[in-house]
Each structure stands twice: as structure tokens, then as C-alpha cells.
Structure 1
């Protein structure tokens, strides 16, 4: 059996983050487009007027009118107490995890915000871009692969001179459940009225922030239902047994990337739990997977 290594430090994440973004053909095309458009098409004054740096005190990305929640450093309870059920094996064992301070998007990135990236770079629109079931401006952007999401963050980071990234799954889970090990962002009991899942009966994607009663302890919206979030980590069935208890980043390689939060077509009572782990191939986009922005503090 092949031995899989696990990240042990934050510096390892920084060294490997963009090296793992692979897809060299698409990446080189993006870089070429960025150079052509940002160097040849924009003057410094125009860039300054169109794109402003993040307002650190309020953690607000003014380019997109995008708020981020500051999550303080400290420990939280990650995972699930052993249930004896095979479907929860990847979430076990439950353990205390220590994280450095970071910030994470209050909401997922919307179609309107992603459209600015497409317009500025000529990057190919995601799947379902022309599908009226998914393309409303205030819907979370779906159909984006993990690589699409990271290219978006590279572009935004170059504009703002800030190292934006996807959250690790540990960071995502802490933002979703807080420090009291609750089952769902709002508490321990399942309530279909607090999230857009299969039980809600909507049978479609909804605008971001449509379920304020489902907000997380830190103030993050849509951490349960509507659309999954891509996370930085490679998925590994036994990650919790072998990864670090301090700023864990999962396995150093894999076939699928972690997605978190459940979606409009998933059974929320199980999939929308804060501890639930799912995964998908990073080269593909789905109609129920989006992403949100994270950054170190």
C-alpha cells in the first residue's frame, strides 16, 4: 500500500499550495492573459480606482464588496464521536484542533463577483454559466472546479497584494460550528427551515444569505446547504488519525479535494452537519459546489 504523507506545518502549506494547483496548460494561459491585460491594458491610476486593497480592520474586500469574518486563534472540537456507522468513519476520531487566526468569507463567491474575474482575464466561464437555474447574479457561483477557484484567488490576490486562498477543512469546520462541537451551524437539532437542502423543498439553488436563521456562531452564512464549499485539503479517509492537531492540512496528495457543507440536492440532516466530509475530483465543476475566500491574519 502506498504511504501518504500529511502536512505537518503551516509553512508546508505555503510552499505547496500553488504547486499543487497543477493544470499547467490552463495556468500558463491565465498567467499570459493576466500579464497582457494588467500590464498592457491598465494604467496604475485606473487599477487604483477600480481595485482597492482589503480594509484590514473590517476585513472587507472592496473589489467585490465581500465581507470576511475574523476567526480568532484557538482550539475547537473537530470531527465526530465514533458512531459505529461506516458513513461517519472519515469524521473520526473527534479531537481538539488548534488553529491560528484567519478570516473566511461571510458568504460564498457569487456569480456577479466571479463575472468580474471572467471579464478581466478572459477566463472560460464555468459550467452552467448560461443555465438560468444557476446563473442569477446573487447565487453562489457553481460549476467551478477546484482549479478554477484557485485561479480566481490568484487573480484577486495579485490585484490586492494579499495571499487569498481556499480555507482548510479544519478552518471551514471551526467557522461553521464554533467551539462547542455543535452538530449544525445553529445548534444540535436538525431544522429543515434553516438551510436549503433536499428537505426544504426548493429543489434549486437560492441567493446567498437566504437563511439567516442558519448562520454560524461566527456569523458565516450558508455553511449548511445551498452549495458545498471547496476546501484546500486532499481527501483521505483516515486524515484525522494521522494529520496534525495544530493547523492540520490533510494529506500531501490525493485524487479528490474536500468539499464541505451540503447542498440544495443533498439530504441535509446528514450532509449539512458541520463535521460531514465529502470530496470530489478537483478538475471538475458541479452544479452544487461553490467556494468562499479565506486569508491568514
Structure 2
């Protein structure tokens, strides 16, 4: 067995179905009162609309520094500057990899997809094992896939519901002030059992920064198109308003910092 398989996160299959994406326009004034800014600053999340996606798989946890280190050793990606060398310091090896840009996140996915004799553990939302796809094509999730995995179909504000609870996520309110290892917030899992989709580290998605409604065929999923790419989830340094499932953040794809990480996705159809 390829030793990489032991480092791979469990992949959870999200069923193909319709979900509510974004924020209702009527809620923008409330969001501004609760989290700051103006109602206009939340318009990028509107209108809330229905999106239908095919089934896909997404990692139950963010990508670890230890797994990313294999691609660094192979020369597929450079070491994150925060490592100050070719290997992650032991204290952060099990934590989410950070300080990577969008191009490096995609390069890691491409490298991982080419590894021979690689197996992955695939489960459904109840934890039932599923047969893996014949071909493992790892990639970044689209922002629609990310949001569906984070909130389910009912348009909830956070992965666990509509009200924030500081003991369910690693945001500024938690006081942790650093990324957390897998399993630190089991009560904060999404309806599909996905961990750390509120807080911890920002996660790159495949998608360009374009206005709603979301349409996968309008060019926003073109990997060669110039422009800012969407990140999701908030991080440990942000107040919890950024950890809402509908919150959209965007950066130029070459930018990096200690708050930016990634999560694997996998096509299953």
C-alpha cells in the first residue's frame, strides 16, 4: 500500500441534490447590525438561490501539513514559508497546512492524483463505507460544493444551525489563537459530518470571484481564467461572522499567509 494512504483524510460523499446557496437579501441589514459593515457589504452573498449539484466527495478534515510535506519532498510544491525549511515543525505536522497559495493548492491536488497504488477511504454521511471511484481525481472543491458540504440543504447560517456557539468552532472567540487538530470540535460538524468548516483556517476553492447566482458554466470554474479566487470558512483569527457558511472571501491566487489552507475534493461520478 502506498504510505500516502495512511495520511489521506477520510472522504465523505455528498449526495447530488438541490441546496440553498447564499444569503437572503432581506437579512443583509441584520447581518450589518450583528457583524459590522453596511448592508451593501453583504450583497455579494445575495440573492439566496437554489443550486443543484451532482454527487461529489470532500475531505472530512482540512489537508494536514504532514501530507503536504510528501509533495514538497517530491518537488511538486515548495515548502510553505512558515515552515522555515523543507519539513513542517513537529508541533504543526498534524495541523492544517497553511501559508500556501491557490496555485500550490491545485498543484498538490494534481500531484496527489498521479500517485500510484493510492487508496482512499470513502464514506457516506452516516459513516457507512462506500466503494472508492475507479480513478482518483483530487481537486479543490468549487465554492458551491464547499457551501453545500458546510450547511446542507436548508440554508442554515453555521454548520450546526443558525446561532453561533463559541465552543463549536475555532474562531477568535475560542481564544485558541492557532489552528486546531482534527476532532477538536465534534459538535461543530456539518450535516454531512464534515469538520472545521467554520473557523480554523480559510480554505481555497476552485472558483473565481463572480457575482451570484452561481452558475458552474459561466466561466467561474475556468482554472486558467485570471482573477481573484474564493476562500471559505473563516479562520481562528477572525470573529465568527466570517465563519458563516455563506460568507465569501476572495484573494489573488498568488497570495499566501498563515491563515490560508485547503481541503481536498474528489469527483465520484
Q: TM-score, with normalisation over the residues of structure 2?
A: 0.81
CA offsets 1:74-108 (integer angstroms, 9 cap, x no match): 10000000124112111000001000010000001
Work out the CA distance in 2 between the residues paired with 1:64 and 1:111: 10
Q: Paired residue for 1:151?
A: 107
Distance apart, 1:125 and its partner CA: 0.3
Work out the CA distance in 2 between the residues paired with 1:127 and 1:100: 37
Describe the shift of the 1:134–1:96 C-alpha distance in structure 2 as closer, same or farther (beyond 3 A): farther
Q: Give the unaligned 5+ runs of structure 1.
A: 1-48, 53-61
* 1:229/1:289 contact within 8 Å kept: yes
Distance apart, 1:248 and its partner CA: 7.4
Work out the CA distance in 2 between the residues paired with 1:126 and 1:71: 30
Describe the shift of the 1:134–1:196 C-alpha distance in structure 2 as closer, same or farther (beyond 3 A): farther
Distance apart, 1:169 and its partner CA: 0.2
Work out the CA distance in 2 between the residues paired with 1:218 and 1:249: 28
Q: Paired residue for 2:204?
A: 230
Answering whether residue 265 of structure 2 is matched by residue 273 of structure 1, we say no
Q: Paired residue for 1:125?
A: 79
133-142 or 99-108, larger mean C-alpha shift: 133-142
* 2:76/2:111 contact within 8 Å kept: no
* 2:204/2:262 contact within 8 Å kept: yes
Q: Give the unaligned 5+ runs of structure 2.
A: 30-38, 119-134
Q: Paired residue for 2:153?
A: 179
Describe the shift of the 1:195–1:165 C-alpha distance in structure 2 as closer, same or farther (beyond 3 A): same
Work out the CA distance in 1 between the residues paired with 2:159 and 2:178: 21
- Map 1:23-102 to 2 at 5 A: 49-50=1-2, 62=5, 64-82=7-25, 83-84=28-29, 85-102=39-56
116-125 or 220-229, larger mean C-alpha shift: 116-125
Distance apart, 1:208 and its partner CA: 2.6
For the residue of structure 1 that corresponds to 2:79, the secondary structure is coil
Q: TM-score, with normalisation over the residues of structure 1?
A: 0.74
Question: May I ask how many residue pairs the two structures share in their alignment?
Answer: 235
Answering whether residue 220 of structure 2 is matched by residue 264 of structure 1, we say no
* 1:128/1:134 contact within 8 Å kept: no
Which of 251, 263, 266 is the matching residue for 1:292? 263
Q: Please identify which structure carries the higher helix content.
A: 1
Q: Paired residue for 1:106?
A: 60
CA RMSD of aligned residues (A): 2.2
214-223 or 160-169, larger mean C-alpha shift: 160-169
Distance apart, 1:163 and its partner CA: 1.7
Work out the CA distance in 2 between the residues paired with 1:184 and 1:139: 22
Distance apart, 1:121 and its partner CA: 2.6
Distance apart, 1:201 and its partner CA: 1.2
Bigger Cα Rg: 1
Work out the CA distance in 1 between the residues paired with 2:78 and 2:152: 37
Runs of 4+ in 1 over 2 A off after TM superposition: 49-52, 62-65, 120-123, 130-135, 246-255
CA offsets 1:27-81 (integer angstroms, 9 cap, x no match): xxxxxxxxxxxxxxxxxxxxxx4368xxxxxxxxx25232111000010000000
Distance apart, 1:199 and its partner CA: 1.1
Work out the CA distance in 1 between the residues paired with 2:218 and 2:193: 23
* 2:76/2:107 contact within 8 Å kept: no
